[in-house]
Amino acid sequence: MKLAGLARWALVAAGVLTFSAGVQGAELLMLEQPGCVWCAQFDAEIAPAWPKTAQGRLAPLRRVDITRPWPSDLEGIAKERFTPTFVLMDGGREIGRIRGYVGNEFFWYRIGELLALLPVRP
């Protein structure tokens, strides 16, 4: 990651401390389905740590089963048939997505890139 990217990520991570309960912030959607092997691998490698990290506090994980009815608050978000797909949301709009899960290291790198796209809040 370039120095400028690291600096921006530091600003985004610092923004975690400034969120208030009344502000609709970021969330990370995990589009999943029963029997998804890669979803299970994510659950084993990332999910337990996610809420304990700065990234997880900035964008809490919300699971969406694609075999169930699509949530009404996500009507403007394109559905996926490939799981897992991770969709970074902010204030109800999509910032970006990661299709698939190929391991711990790649995920942390890619999610860092997406989180760097979030607006920095005062």
Chain segment 35-62, per-residue pLDDT in tens: 999 999 999 999 999 999 999 999 999 9
Q: What is the pTM of this model?
A: 0.79
What is residue 52's DSSP assignment? G
Q: Which domains does the chain have, with CATH numbers?
A: 3-10+24-115 (3.40.30.10)
